[in-house]
Amino acid sequence: MTRNTVGPGDVGKRVSFQFELPNGYVGEAVGTLELWDEGANTYLVRTKDGSLARVPALGVRFGKVIPG
């Protein structure tokens, strides 16, 4: 069951994702939602170390906005 409460309107907020890529890789991304790429159906998350994580919306197992 997929639970994702993050949407395009959450840009600028801290978020947490657990996601799966088509090749079976399972990853996590925690950071600030920088951009929602409509064309690619992808969230772009700026992580603590400054890197940019691409999270495919169709692969999200769990996503939430972190309060605070």
DSSP bridge pairs for 43: 36, 55
Single pTM value for the model: 0.90
Q: Give the whole-angstrom CA distance, residue 68 versus residue 57.
A: 24
> Using one digit for the tens of pLDDT, what is the confidence trace for 1-38?
669 999 999 999 999 999 999 899 999 999 999 999 99
Query: What is the CATH architecture assignment of 3-65?
Result: Roll (2.30)
Torsion angle in degrees (nearest 10) through CA of 44, 47, 52, 55: -40
Residue whose token pair is 């999270």 = 55
Work out the end-to-end distance of the chain between its first and last CA atoms, rounded to an integer number of angstroms.
Answer: 26
| Domain residue limits, the chain | 3-65
Q: Rounded mean pLDDT of 48-62?
A: 95
